Amino acid sequence: MFEKIVLATDLSSAWDEIVACAGEFKALGASEIILTHVITVLFLGGLEATLRAEAEPKLEKQKQFLQGRGFKASVETPVGLPAYSLNDVAQRHGADLIVVGSHGRSLWREAVLGCFTCAVLYHTQYPTLLLNVFLKKEMPKGSCRLQATQLLRHVLFPTDFSQISARARDIVTRLAPRGISQVTLLNALDVPGGEAYPPGFQEMAEAKGRDSLAAWTEVLKGADIPVVHPVFDPGHPLPAILRVLESQDISLLVMGTQGKGFIKEIFLGSVAHNVSRLAPCPVLLIPPATR
């Protein structure tokens, strides 16, 4: 599935925690990791060599850790902006997945360059796994202390039934044999009303949404996923997603980017910032195939 992963590290203590969870990527099919530290020197011209030399010992330590977990590991230190450099590294190595974090030393870049994580997610050409650095305090240091254990235990899959959502659904079905135990399939339908719309428009839209939800449920069940729980929510998608995350023990959220309607809004508005910071679980984002 995701055999070759670009793991973007900023070498902060937060990224030590992410690297400590690398063994969990084996559930996704990973066997090779390209450890990538992007040197961003827009305002520090001429310091590339110094910054690279400073990073090398830390990168080597993380590389050895990954090799000790059974991965084939290599290191890349491109110069540029992460939003573009990560795509370049993934393309050169023929990678299947990019992994990024939302915390760590990259926070200074958010103040200078805008939302670092949002920029990466907006420009990514590859499926991207976003890990939030919320630690389990009871776990010993050096173990996987993030909300990233048993990634495929319970997947939340929000959909608007668009083409990009269908691509995300294909990813879910391909991951099914790797151990998905349960999927919550969510469709939030915030249908406008009022005199500008014909009588019965909302009812017709809801009926169509429920029919599509039932059809997609059968597709997922056909992939031998043991439990598929369809949820129809007539409200706005972001609160609907957060309600499911708060009420259920979700291990992974999978969704497409830039579909029709709410998925597009998530990545073109402030909702991206909220999703990246509020979701307590990892988020797997699937970009359009034509990007």
Does some domain include residue 149?
A: no
Same domain for 176 and 271, yes or no, is yes
The 10s digit of each residue's pLDDT in 214-244 is 999 999 999 999 999 999 998 878 888 899 9
Q: What is the 3-state secondary structure (H, E, C) of the chain?
A: CCCEEEEECCCCHHHHHHHHCHHHHHHHCCCEEEEECCECCCCCCCCHHHHHHHHHHHHHHHHHHHHHCCCEEEEECCECCHHHHHHHHHHHHCCCEEEEECCCCCHHHHHHHCCHHHHHHHHCCCCEEEECCCCCCCCCECECCCCCCCCCCEEEEECCCCHHHHHHHHHHHHHHHHCCCEEEEEEECCCCCCCCCCCCHHHHHHHHHHHHHHHHHHHHHHCCCCEEEEEEECCCHHHHHHHHHHHCCCCEEEEECCCCCHHHHHHHCCHHHHHHHHCCCCEEEECCCCC
Same domain for 121 and 183, yes or no, is no
The 10s digit of each residue's pLDDT in 57-96 is 999 999 999 999 999 999 999 988 888 899 999 999 999 9
What CATH number does the domain containing 170 carry? 3.40.50.620
Same domain for 120 and 202, yes or no, is no
The residue among 64, 98, 131 that closes a domain is 131
Q: What integer pLDDT is reported at residue 117 of this predicted model?
A: 65
Same domain for 234 and 117, yes or no, is no
Does some domain include residue 10?
A: yes
Total structural domains within the chain: 2
> Residue 285 CB: number of other CB atoms within 10 A?
26
Same domain for 57 and 103, yes or no, is yes
Does some domain include residue 230?
A: yes
Does some domain include residue 106?
A: yes
Same domain for 165 and 243, yes or no, is yes
Query: What CA–CA distance (Å, rounded) separates 97 from 244?
Result: 26
Query: What CA–CA distance (Å, rounded) separates 240 from 238?
Result: 5
276 confidence band (pLDDT: 50, 70, 90)? low
- Tell which residue, 171, 185, 184, 119, has the closest CA to residue 286: 171
Does some domain include residue 250?
A: yes
pTM for the model: 0.86
The 10s digit of each residue's pLDDT in 9-59 is 888 777 788 888 888 899 999 999 999 999 886 655 667 888 889 999 999
Q: Could you tell me the residue range of the domain that residue 233 belongs to?
A: 154-281
Same domain for 255 and 186, yes or no, is yes
Does some domain include residue 139?
A: no
Does some domain include residue 263?
A: yes
Signed CA dihedral, 155, 158, 161, 164: sign only:
negative
**Bridge partners of residue 74, in order along the sequence:** 34
Signed CA dihedral, 12, 132, 137, 32: sign only:
negative
Q: What integer pLDDT is reported at residue 164 of this predicted model?
A: 84
Same domain for 87 and 180, yes or no, is no
**Bridge partners of residue 129, in order along the sequence:** 99, 284
Does some domain include residue 288?
A: no
Query: What CA–CA distance (Å, rounded) separates 97 from 198?
Result: 44
197 confidence band (pLDDT: 50, 70, 90)? low
The 10s digit of each residue's pLDDT in 98-154 is 998 865 444 433 433 345 566 677 778 899 998 876 667 777 777 888 877 889 999
